[in-house]
Structure 1
């Protein structure tokens, strides 16, 4: 078997990075032909994932955080072999996509699973939005894209020094509380599958393929990776004290019963700002990265990824 691996050498979790060499050694011992390539900057993971797919890999593995996993999946989807099998070794700060699966912790068992598992089609998403430079951009995501306070939270986690050395959950919690205390709800219009759902202030909206984001926040407890639909979780704008109560229950999934929260299912989500002030446009995060801001559109790609895990 020809296996291509895209490795992010500076991903958030040292434990995940240290697991990978043992997995690679176990794969090699089983006769796999490995082509390992490391990222060196923005966009490398997608480019390398595309190159490994087009170079004839039987399986392409992403080693890194949710951003690396999403980018490698995007590279495969943009390649001329979008059906190549895909897998991952989680090594990020949040590693939320991995929470959708029961994964081995023993390197040899992980390698054996990569070699023997049957590839299963799972959904992906594609997003178009306004980039940080004001120009339109398009990118895929495999777990969750969201907008509202989650946008500045992810930017603070990725750029900040606070909590470095801590596990992902307390890092995200610290930055979440900090950003919520200064956040002013953004006013948006929201349309699902062509039907206008809502106009008004939001705290956050999660367009969910997977069930977790924010290093363990169980934001979309009923989401499925293979139903051809997003679970769209809307947390409306409210005073900070009320939102902190919602946040207190989001780790267990109990937030979905809160009056400020509603859950919907759709294959297309459209959002636009309802205020002219561009500085008040809601910021977007996608698989833990920060691509831009609304206006945006999110479309599900049913069964687009052949996931072996």
Structure 2
């Protein structure tokens, strides 16, 4: 079995790096044909994932945070062998994609699981938007893409990652509070499967394949990574105190009972700004661009092995 590994060496604190070191030895004890690529910057993970799949890897493993996982998955899907099996080892700041699965923390069990022929087909999203220079970009996402205050939060978190010593969820919590205090609701138009469903101010909209984002916020409690549908969570614009109160309940999913929140299901999501201010997008913890944007569901395209 030929294994390709894409490692983000900057991801995770000391504990997660020690865990990966132990797991790596367990993998090397079971597989002899290994190819390891280490990322140095944005875009490397996607390129390496595509190259490893094209080179005939039977399994490509992403080791890093949600951004690395999403990039590697996208690289596989853009390769000439998009059915190549995919796996991940979550070592990042938020590790939200991993929360969707019952994953062992025993390195030996994880390595044994990689030897199994069983592969689960899961969904992925395809985002099309404009980057900061106005050029059109396309990007796959494995977990969640969102826009509004969440786009500002992910930029602040990414800028703070270098040298940060706080646990991942605390980093997200701190910057979430800070950005909410600074944020003014932006007006957008939202269309789901060809039908206009909302026109007005938002705090955030999450286009969710998985259930969690933001370092443990259960924004889409009923999301299923294999049902062929996005859960689209609209958090309408409101004053800072109301948003902060709502945020207090989002970690357990209680926000869904708020009149500020509505949840819809769709295969195609289109969004446009109806304001002058840019509305940034978060895609698996990275910042690819801004509205207008299109989010397309790709049902069952990823072969996941965990």
TM-score (norm 1): 0.97
Match for residue 247 of structure 1?
A: 247
Give the Cα separation in 2 of the matches to 1:13 and 1:265. 36
Q: How many residues align?
A: 306
Correspondence for 1:46: 46
What SS class does the counterpart of residue 289 from structure 2 fall into?
A: strand
The change in CA–CA distance for 1:161 and 1:28 in structure 2 (over 3 A counts) is: closer
Give the alignment's TM-score, normalised by structure 2. Answer: 0.98
Residue 289 of structure 1 corresponds to: 286
Match of 1:191 in 2: 191
Which residue of 2 is the match for residue 302 of structure 1?
299
User: 3-state SS of the aligned residue for 1:290?
Assistant: coil
1:169 equivalent in structure 2: 169
In structure 2, what is the Cα distance between the partners aligned to 1:66 and 1:199? 30
SS at 2:262 equivalent: strand
Shift in Å, 1:162: 9.6
CA 1:32–1:64 in structure 2 vs 1: closer, same or farther (change >3 Å)?
A: same
Structure 1 position 55, deviation (Å)? 0.7
Helix, strand or coil at the partner of 2:18? helix
CA shift, 1:18, in A, is 2.2
Contact 1:209 1:229 in 2 (8 A): yes
Q: Does the 8 Å contact 1:271/1:296 carry over to 2?
A: yes
Contact 1:54 1:81 (8 Å CA) reproduced = yes
Deviation track 1:236-260 (CA, whole Å, cap 9, x = no partner) reads 0011111111100000000001000
Once superposed, what is the RMSD of the aligned Cα atoms? 1.3
Helix, strand or coil for the counterpart of 2:61?
strand
Shift of 1:17: 2.5
Q: Report the Cα offset of residue 161 of structure 1.
A: 6.3
Q: Name structure 2 gaps, 5 residues minimum.
A: none
Preserved CA contact (<8 Å) 1:211 1:219: yes
Displacement, 1:41?
1.3
* CA distance, structure 1, for counterparts of residue 210 and residue 161 of structure 2: 28
Q: Deviations over 1:117-150 (max 9, x none)?
A: 6111100000001101111111000000000000
1:12: Cα distance to partner?
A: 3.1
Q: CA deviation at 1:163?
A: 8.9
Q: Is the 8 A contact 1:203 1:237 kept in 2?
A: yes
Q: Contact 1:17/1:64 (CA < 8 Å) preserved in 2?
A: no
Structure 1 segments unaligned to the other structure (5+ residues): none
8 Å CA contact 2:129–2:289 kept in 1: the answer is yes
Q: CA deviation at 1:281?
A: 2.4
Bigger shift: residues 79-88 or 153-162: 153-162
